[in-house]
Amino acid sequence: MTSARMFRKELVGLLLLTALGAALRLPFLIESVFIPVDGDTAIIGLMAKHGAWTGTMWGQPYGSPVESWFARPIVEFLGASRLSIRLTYFLLSVA
């Protein structure tokens, strides 16, 4: 088997596993849109909305702002909403 064929086979397998993971997580995304946002998630949303590039979450001595960096383009595109923040976490969980 050539290396190109083996690469394609592995790529197809990876894409199928990713699609399966997304399909398994999709019901949780749909349900989470109807659940109120907690404080830490709201802070991530606000940081994404305002484009904060700080070392920790606002007002917290803990927590990483990396989620807000990933959420920034989604919040810019969809607007600040529960869906945009939950979609960020959905995409991170599939990745």
C-alpha to C-alpha distance for 87 and 27, rounded to whole angstroms: 12
- Residue 51 zone, left/alpha/beta (φ > 0; ψ -120 to 50; rest): left
Position of tokens 């590039």? 53
Q: Is the pLDDT reported for residue 20 higher than 80?
A: yes
Q: What is the mean pLDDT of residues 74-86?
A: 90
Q: What angle do CA 59, 61, 63 make, to 5 degrees?
A: 90
pLDDT band at 94 (very low <50, low <70, confident <90, very high): confident
- CA dist 62 and 86 (Å) reads 21
Number of neighbours of residue 72 by Cβ within 10 angstroms: 19
Model pLDDT for residues 26-76, shown as the tens digit of each residue: 898 888 888 888 888 888 888 999 887 888 888 888 778 888 899 999 999
Which pLDDT score, from 0 to 100, does residue 1 have?
A: 63
